[in-house]
Structure 1
Amino acid sequence: MADFSNFLPDTAFALDVAAQDWREAITLAGNELVDAGFTTDEYTTQMIETVEKLGPYMVITPGLALAHARPSDAVLHTGLSWVRLSTPVEFGSKANDPVSLVIGLAGRDENEHLEIMSAIAKALMDPAKTARLAAAQTPAEIRSILES
């Protein structure tokens, strides 16, 4: 299992924040990636453009969007952001809307991108774990659940 403390520092969390729509939700996730030193603002723009071009495929399970774009020069370090919305928003995914958790994913290269994506997917496939994550109150508690 991945050591999430390296990829998901306290500065990459925004818990119970409001977003008006999916663009703002992705922007919040992007801002956290920037604040943690993982990306530049350009990566946030790339994540939004990815949804505009390809649709809401990044809404991978009910209530969860894994916001990302292809590895680029806008990615400074591989990392994650964690944005839990106070009110869910629609991404346009018939099967999995509305979204209340947006995880921002930035990978420096394809291997790191896939490695961290796989670790997150594994952690989120357990319904009991996702319920605990939804109720978690602190970054440390969320990391502990992900790593268990």
Structure 2
Amino acid sequence: MLAEQLEGNIRFLSSVDSWEQGIQEAAAPLLDNGSITSGYIDDMIESVHENGPYIVIVPGVAMPHAKNNGTVNKTGVSYLKLDEPVLFPKDKEVKTFFVLAAEDSDGHLDLISDLSSILIEDETKDQLEEADSEERVLEVINSVE
């Protein structure tokens, strides 16, 4: 399910100027395909300003998400990988973003648990960090789903 959600929503960039820009760039495919509105991006950024870098779930990986306040049209996941890490509050370095947008909180929890179980495996996390194409990212995720 996760690989299907990610298809067409995977991007690679060399760097971003700020973690806020990282979230914007990571969420761009979902904005472009109509899954979310720009309000959802604002909510995700606001959430980190208010609650700190709780979305950095394992070292190097952030999972931006927010509640659906009428800002998610369709459940979706997008992925951004940076060559250069960007610093989140509390000096947390992040190179990989998985943006989660769920229409309802159940869908949200499912996506978070799917992703967490994938990222908790060091081997999988390493393979994702080395992936340099959409095909490879999908391959890694399909192999563990």
| TM-score, scaled relative to structure 2 | 0.92
1:98-137 alignment, distance < 5 Å? 98-137=93-132
8 Å contact from structure 1 (residues 30, 41) kept in 2: no
8 Å contact from structure 2 (residues 2, 114) kept in 1: no
1:1-148 alignment, distance < 5 Å? 3-10=1-8, 12-93=9-90, 97-148=92-143
8 Å contact from structure 2 (residues 11, 134) kept in 1: no
Runs of 4 or more, structure 1, over 2 Å off, are none
8 Å contact from structure 1 (residues 89, 100) kept in 2: yes
Task: Provide the identity percentage.
Answer: 29
What letter corresponds to residue 64 of structure 1 in structure 2?
Answer: V
| TM-score, scaled relative to structure 1 | 0.90
Aligned length: 143
8 Å contact from structure 1 (residues 75, 107) kept in 2: yes
CA RMSD of aligned residues (A): 1.3
For 2:33 and 2:131, locate their aligned partners in 1 and report how far apart those are by CA, in whole Å.
Answer: 20
For 2:107 and 2:131, locate their aligned partners in 1 and report how far apart those are by CA, in whole Å.
Answer: 27
Offset at residue 4 of structure 1 (A): 2.3
Unaligned runs of 5+ in 2: none
Q: Classify the secondary structure of the residue corresponding to 2:88.
A: coil
Offset at residue 5 of structure 1 (A): 3.7
Offset at residue 36 of structure 1 (A): 3.3
Q: Classify the secondary structure of the residue corresponding to 1:67.
A: coil
Unaligned runs of 5+ in 1: none
